[in-house]
Amino acid sequence: KQEVTQIPAALSVPEGENLVLNCSFTDSAIYNLQWFRQDPGKGLTSLLLIQSSQREQTSGRLNASLDKSSGRSTLYIAASQPGDSATYLCAVRPVELNDMRFGAGTRLTVKP
Amino acid sequence: EAQVTQNPRYLITVTGKKLTVTCSQNMNHEYMSWYRQDPGLGLRQIYYSMNVEVTDKGDVPEGYKVSRKEKRNFPLILESPSPNQTSLYFCASSLSLWRGWAYGYTFGSGTRLTVV
């Protein structure tokens, strides 16, 4: 059964710092991996989608990498800002499931 | 604007009173899905639909019903809500899950349901 783990569960950093969020999954048989942002009580906003054949995707200050064989992905946020404060979720699309499997998220706080 | 629209955003109801949460997408997506999000448990799938008139149970379907009569709409029905269904609900859609590689998901803004 595919399990997705995100470490750390919470992270607090000063503004301007570069940071890395981690996501690991137990089964490498996936179609893709997606990173989402969720603000408190709000919906999930898609940040980056990486197909299984890709190694990374970039959007602005965000860079997501995927190492499928080792079951790991990282989300790199450059020059963090207070507006980046949110919960970040990763999700994988397992080959054998008609759904995605989500991690529990990392709650990020960027202090001014 | 391409989006998934859920209504209502907030709902407080009493035990046993039937309710429907609507979900509509304007992207011609084949796949739609309902999730509930609870503290410490993350996102759990309730029901999903691969296309019109094709629905199936997710991980936590008990106490819920769905229908997919039109491609754009996927309502979630609680026939007799109970307090343990108090949660934050999300609808999501994706272009298709049939193909060899999958598209990403688009989520609605959520419905916070309280059953008293």
pLDDT tens per residue across span A6-55 = 999 999 999 999 999 999 999 999 989 999 999 987 889 999 999 999 99
Residue of B88, B100, B105 lying closest to A100 (CB–CB): B105
Interatomic CA distance for residues B32 and B35, integer angstroms: 10
Is there a contact between B22 and B73 (Cβ–Cβ < 8 Å)?
A: yes
What is the share, in percent, of chain B residues with pLDDT greater than 70? 95
A9, amino acid identity = A
- B22 reaches A (C-beta below 8 A): no
Tokens in use for B9?
Answer: 């955003």
Give me the count of residues in chain A.
112
Tokens in use for A95?
Answer: 């080959």
B86, amino acid identity = T
Interatomic CA distance for residues A47 and A86, integer angstroms: 12
Report the gap between the CA of A57 and the closest CA in chain B (Å). 13
pLDDT in tens, A58-87: 999 999 999 999 999 999 999 999 999 999
CB contact under 8 A, A91 and B97: no
pLDDT at B97 over 70: no
Tokens in use for A54?
Answer: 């890709």
DSSP H/E element including A75: strand A72-77
The more confidently predicted of residues A2 and A74 is A74
List CB contacts (< 8 A) between A106 and chain B: none
Read off the pLDDT of each residue in B30-34 and give the average, rounded to a whole number: 94
CB contact under 8 A, B101 and A41: no
List CB contacts (< 8 A) between A99 and chain B: 33, 45, 48, 58
CB contact under 8 A, B107 and A34: no
